[in-house]
Structures are given as structure tokens and as C-alpha cells.
Structure 1
Amino acid sequence: MATTSAPPFAELYSPGRPFTWPELQSLAADGLLTRLHQRGYTLPEVTASPQLRARAAATAVPEGIRQRVVAGRMTAAWIYGCAEEPDRLALLVDAKRRVSSLRNTRGCTLHEVRLGPFDVVSMGGLMVSSPLRTALDIALHVDAVRAIPALEGLLARPERDVRLRLLVLAIESTPRVPHKKAALEKLSLLAPALVSGGPVDVKNAVDPPDSTEDVAQVLGVAHLEREP
């Protein structure tokens, strides 16, 4: 007797998979489903993990471009569980790729950037900016009201894969980073001792192995958004 396999993404329900949008809303109103993101629901007992949120974000990215873009900024912060879901997906596109064909992607904001080998991770069928790259981009490009809580969440991740001192050093040590002053002002609100309104005291800011050159390479500070 043949067995039927479980439907793909059984933990995640979005319009057409397999219920219609009105059906999903009705099931949620009855308490049978819990809203995960704008147009996606899960069973109440399912834990919203980063992998599941990445899977949910992937369903909102047209399949034809899914392997050409990277979820970043506040979208990545939401995937990591450090921010509310933004109204529009923030998608990073490597400057080495052609962007013109992606301009009409609906519901998304595209950012042409340079991405290094440490800047991207894969989860839930979607490429996502790494926690370190996410924190760096948020400090540089997101307004303080939204950026500071997201940065606090990224810094508090149990994996301890984002270190505030490295973020400060990475931004301070690169001369041509756009919005550098504003980024340091945001970070100073999280740790005034590390940012005193001037250059960071790199002698005491990080452990000896974390030289400026090493930090710049690991955090990808040479791979930031291109100036117009």
C-alpha cells in the first residue's frame, strides 16, 4: 500500500498552500492557526524558528529570483527573531549581478551591495545576510528608532555571534563607509564607553587577535552598499 508524503512546508500555511486567503483568516479566527507573517500562518504549537521565518520570507520572493537575492537589513533581523516583520522585504543584490531585471519585484525593496564570502548564510530555502552583516547594515542604514532594538536583539542572541566591539571597530576603521557618524551614534547608545564621539581606542577595544585588518575582512566592511 502506497503512502503519501507530507506536503512541503507542512508547518507553514500561505494562500494556496493548501487553503485560500479567506480560509486561512477564518482558521486563524477560530484559533486553529497562528499568524506568523503578513500572509502566512502556522499551527499554534509550532515554534517560530529562524529557519521557519526564512521559509516564510522565501514564499514572498518570486521563485525566479530567489537564488539571486539575499534577505537583509530589517527582514534579516525579523528572520533572526530580533525585530518585527517589516512591511516590505529588504533584498540585497550583489553588485556583480544584473539588477535591472529585478526592479519590478513587487513587495520588495532592492539594495545593490557588495557581498563578501562571510556575509551570507542559507536557511529555509533562502539566502540571508549573516548576523554580523545584518547588524552592520542596520547600524548604517536603518533609522535609530528601529535600529537600536534590532541591534540589541542581535547582540543578545544566545549564539553570541555578534559582538558590539567588533561592530564599532569595523565601522570606525573604514574611511569611506556611508552614514558612518550616524551608525556610531546609534552604537554609542548601546555602549557609551566604546564610542566617545571620536576614533575608537582600538588598543583596548578588542582582543589582540582582532586586528583592524582582520575585523574588516571578517565583517566584510569593504562589501558595503555602493555610493550613488
Structure 2
Amino acid sequence: MEELLVPVRPVGRRATGPPPVPIGLCAAWSRHAAELAVPIGGALQRWEETPSTRVMVAEGQLVRLLPEIFLPPDLLCGAVERALALGCAMGAHLQSHHVIAGPSAAWVVLGGAPPSPAELLSPAHRGERAGLVLRHARLHPGDVETIGGAPVTVPVRTAMDLLRFAAAPVAGPALRGLVAAGHMEVDEVRERLRRMHRHPGVQAARDRLEALLATDPVTRDAPEISGG
């Protein structure tokens, strides 16, 4: 039987402010999300950022979702858990129009270490809080899927946002992961970028995609994945 990792509590004070409340977290997204999020919300840990907590994150004993908000890694084993964990970490700041996007959407699908800052899209407004970037964007219904009741950009839209806005050290590995895992086809991303007009960063995104295809065998030689 696989042994579950139980982290030792960090040395230091709990972070200021009220502790995360497990009941009702992610309800802004959906009732389904709120129900699934209860055990995740109950396991959230709020601690000050100290050398002790940084060591525990580096050693894999805790995962930092947002500054001063942590979760044991065994609760992030799947895409549903990762999507809901980010919603839980948002707490009362989460709104129904917040959509997990960019590096955070890639993390939900692929796993690994959560990106910092986390990223959300919203058709309502843009803004920032500690550890989070909220971008304003118009989202078509086909750009968003629900994972455990949480809205997440589909892989093709995720790739487009990575190419347009993410730094190269973030965008490259995420794109490689999405292609290698069969979540998207490169040609679909190219076609979507071709059809975009007068959008900020589109030409740079096209150039970045072609440069990646020219230098990366994973994306260049990836087989086409049939839809379904």
C-alpha cells in the first residue's frame, strides 16, 4: 500500500487573517464544485512564508497554491483536485466568472508544481492580488470546459494564451507537455492564431510557435490526435 505523506507543521506562526473555511468554497463556480471541494478546503493550511515553509515546499512536503496558502501534495493527484484546490485557495475572492487559464490551466491538466503567479481569465474585469494575475478576456463557449465543476480553458485556448502572454521558460515546457500528452494538435493552435486579427501579441505568438516547432522534436513530430 502506498504510504501517504503527512507533513510536519512548519515552525512559525500561522499567517494573519482568518483560517480558510472549508464549507462553501468553490460555490461561486457551481454546487458540484462546492461539494467536491469540501475535503480539499478542509485540508488547506495557512502559514506565514518562512524558511521552514519554503524548505517544506522544496522538499515536496507541502504545495504552495497562493502565498501563505498550502496543501499536502497527496490531495493534488488529479485534474479535478488541482482545479478545485486553486478555487479553494481563492476563498471569498473567487467569482463565478473566474476561469482558470494560462499556466494554471496547463498545471490543472498536466500536474507538477503550481505556477506562480496563478492565472485566471474573466470577461468582467482584470486585476491582481498576491500570487494571482486576473486577465480580462472575451471567452467563447468552446474555449472553456468544466473540470469537477470548475471552469478551465480548453488546451488549445490554454496554448494560445501561453504563446501570447507567458514567459518562454513557462510557455515552452507547458506546450510540450500538452502536445506530448495528446491534449491538443499543433495545427489547431496555428489555425486559431491565424484567424485572430488585431489581438495583442498574436504575431509574436505565431512567431514563437514556429520557433518552437523548428527546434523542439516533441512538438514538431507529434502525431495528430483525432477529436472526440
Residue 145 to residue 21, structure 1, CA distance change in 2 (3 Å): closer
Cα distance per residue 1:47-81 (max 9 Å; x no partner): 62111111111112233533121111111111122
Whole-angstrom CA distance in 2 between matches of 1:59 and 1:65: 8
Higher helix share: 2
Report 1:137-176 matches (<5 A): 137-157=161-181, 160-176=182-198
| Structure 2: runs of 5+ lacking an equivalent | 1-36, 216-223
Identity of aligned residues (%): 24
Residue 87 to residue 191, structure 1, CA distance change in 2 (3 Å): closer
The answer on 1:93 being equivalent to 2:117 is no
Whole-angstrom CA distance in 2 between matches of 1:60 and 1:66: 13
Asked if structure 2 preserves the Cα contact closer than 8 Å seen for 1:12 and 1:41, the reply is no
User: How many residue pairs align between the two structures?
Assistant: 171
Asked if structure 1 preserves the Cα contact closer than 8 Å seen for 2:163 and 2:171, the reply is yes
1:40 to 70, 78, 81: 70
RMSD over equivalenced CA pairs, Å: 3.3
Whole-angstrom CA distance in 1 between matches of 2:204 and 2:128: 31
| Structure 1: runs of 5+ lacking an equivalent | 1-6, 194-205, 211-228
Asked if structure 2 preserves the Cα contact closer than 8 Å seen for 1:82 and 1:154, the reply is no
The answer on 1:180 being equivalent to 2:202 is yes
TM-aligned CA deviation for residue 190 of structure 1: 3.2
The answer on 1:122 being equivalent to 2:149 is no
Residue 10 to residue 147, structure 1, CA distance change in 2 (3 Å): closer
Q: SS at the partner of 2:38?
A: coil
Whole-angstrom CA distance in 1 between matches of 2:107 and 2:89: 14
TM-aligned CA deviation for residue 142 of structure 1: 1.3
TM-aligned CA deviation for residue 103 of structure 1: 4.0
**Greater shift in the superposed pair: 163-172 or 173-182:** 173-182
TM-score (norm 2): 0.62
Whole-angstrom CA distance in 2 between matches of 1:59 and 1:11: 6
TM-score (norm 1): 0.62
